[in-house]
Structure 1
Amino acid sequence: MTDKLNLPRISVLGCGWLGLALAKHLSSKGYDVKGSVMQEENLEELHQFGIKGYQIAFNPDLQVCSDDHFFETDIIVSCIPPKRRDDIESYYPKQIDSLKQEAQKHGVKKVLFISSTSVYPNTLGKVSEELQLSPEKASGKALVKAEKLLTQSDDFETTILRFGGLIGYDRHPGRFLSHRKELRNGSVPVNLIHQDDCVKIISEIIKQNVWGEVFNACCPEHPTRKDFYQKAARAANLPEPEFLEEEQMAYKWVDSSKLIKRLNYKFIYTSPLDTI
């Protein structure tokens, strides 16, 4: 039986597709879990799973907070991604800076920040956590700024988790490119990870008390874009996407070996093809 007295209190900021699955899992393991949503009507779903629900919204300052008890916790897991908007490079870091201020004010000691492999450029090769960050998209640039805001704080320890593309359950990749023709980049490797592995990795970081680290998290195997999406479409009984025959374009191959070694982690899905 799990001894709740020895388990940290956890607040999951952003109980969307990933955050809700995480909160449900941690609650089932005996953790005292709080979860946040932006809309009041989504609170009931949290309560149904025994999760203490709070309405929290950073716009970009903390403008909605049903109860600041949400921030009275040992660990905050931030699952709020940058939303598409013209000023994303300034707006999202302001959101995370507001989160940082709340964490400092309430004495939070650990922050787990869910980032993305979009912080890496297309390098025509393998990318590891030591690579200098020079993202090409605005969302990636926003994430880099957000990561720095958190890791430079002396008031709490931060671990950064850079996930690849998220797949699983209602995010069936067979629908992503089905029917499409003359697609490019068919020979480049995909960098994907299943929701089950995301939840398990976060749980292991918390369980093993691994802080002050930066980890990539993708399936260790990287099939080509063409092989993966054509197989996914076939599995969903949808028309396969058609790719152009062309020279290999710029790509990145995200290396998760640091995470595997540091956490002694065994992926549930070694290849994205295993998820289909």
Structure 2
Amino acid sequence: MARFLILGCGWVGEAFALLAVARGQEITVTVTSEEKAQRLRDQGVEALVHNFDQSAALALEEQHFDYVLNSIPASKKNEILFVKNRFQNVAKLLGNLAYQKHIYLSSIGIYPEQSQSFDESFSDEAQMSDILLLAEKIVGPLPNTIVYRLGGLFGQQRIFAKYFQDKVCQSGEQSANFIHLDDVVQLLWLGFTQPLSQPVYNVVCLHHPKKEAVIRASAAKYGYGLPSAFADGASYDKVVSGDQIVRELNYSFVYPSPLDF
């Protein structure tokens, strides 16, 4: 049995926690509300209420974990000094813990909004999202750390067509750089339990259909109405490659394409 610590147990963290519990692992998580903490406790997860914007001090009974999943968000909506304080607190906590591997969940939003293909070798920091880059720079250098840059997340009640029903869609000609929640949790499990050679991985479906095609497939599958119109208003078409982690882990997707979601 392995011991997992999940910092900032949001949507992805909760799905992974429940997977790990089902596989007989010991899970401790942090959340920001007592209501969610109690809900997770009822499902066999040790949950602590903590806000990293306020403090790095976390009341842990144990200081050693096999694996740490860090899903503390670095939202582009936050001011940069706000994010800096948050992640410095996270780094301070992790610096006082012993662990074998730490995976931090970042985003492919770090890449610029340009008509270009991006893989993990892209290194022009001047063009990257300053907020997301700052968070990666603070926690990335910590020992045994791997960064997962997640594509657009869907699954469960997050259904792409739902967000465009009866609205004008201006991004239909853009390529979809998406990933399903079920594939994220499987790639997290494999990333913790198998060796990885690189510090950063894009976690994105291998297939990149146009968003209009994804909306149409999603609407047909789940019974949502289509947009009132598709208007070509996109100024760029970015494609993000997730090939690297797939090759290393020899991974077969549950949902190979966003058309399957």
- Aligned match of 1:143: 132
Work out whether 1:180 is the aligned partner of 2:167: yes
Asked if the contact 1:233/1:240 (under 8 Å) is kept, the reply is yes
- Aligned match of 2:193: 207
- Aligned match of 2:145: 158
**1:143 maps to amino acid:** L
Report Cα offsets for 1:60-93 as digits up to 9, x if no partner.
5337x4x223654232111121246451x22123
- Aligned sequence identity (%): 24
Asked if the contact 1:218/1:255 (under 8 Å) is kept, the reply is yes
**1:147 maps to amino acid:** E
TM-score, L = length of structure 1: 0.86
Q: Which runs of 5+ in 2 are unaligned?
A: none
Report Cα offsets for 1:116-152 as digits up to 9, x if no partner.
0000012312110001255878xx4212111111222
2:78 and 2:13 map into 1 onto residues whose CA distance is: 25
For 2:71, which of 67, 79, 86 is the aligned residue? 79
Report Cα offsets for 1:232-266 as digits up to 9, x if no partner.
223333321121246x6312111011011111111
**1:244 maps to amino acid:** A
Work out whether 1:255 is the aligned partner of 2:249: no
Report the Cα offset of residue 189 of structure 1: 0.3
Asked if the contact 1:120/1:134 (under 8 Å) is kept, the reply is no
Q: Which has the higher contact order (CA 8 A, sep 6+)?
A: 2
Q: Which runs of 5+ in 1 are unaligned?
A: none
- Aligned match of 1:90: 81
* CA gap 1:114/1:245 in 2 versus in 1, 3 angstroms: closer
Report the Cα offset of residue 101 of structure 1: 0.8
- Aligned match of 1:127: 118
Give the SS at the match of 1:231: helix
1:42 and 1:135 map into 2 onto residues whose CA distance is: 38
What is the aligned length? 260
TM-score, L = length of structure 2: 0.91
1:198 and 1:121 map into 2 onto residues whose CA distance is: 23
When the two chains are superposed, the root-mean-square deviation of aligned CA atoms in Å is 2.1
Deviating more after overlay: 101-110 vs 223-232: 101-110
* CA gap 1:85/1:244 in 2 versus in 1, 3 angstroms: closer
Report Cα offsets for 1:87-122 as digits up to 9, x if no partner.
1x2212321111111111223443110000000012
Give the SS at the match of 1:193: strand
Deviating more after overlay: 209-218 vs 23-32: 209-218
* CA gap 1:199/1:13 in 2 versus in 1, 3 angstroms: same
2:43 and 2:87 map into 1 onto residues whose CA distance is: 27
Deviating more after overlay: 92-101 vs 250-259: 92-101
Give the SS at the match of 1:68: coil
For 1:68, which of 42, 45, 60 is the aligned residue? 60
1:122 and 1:100 map into 2 onto residues whose CA distance is: 29
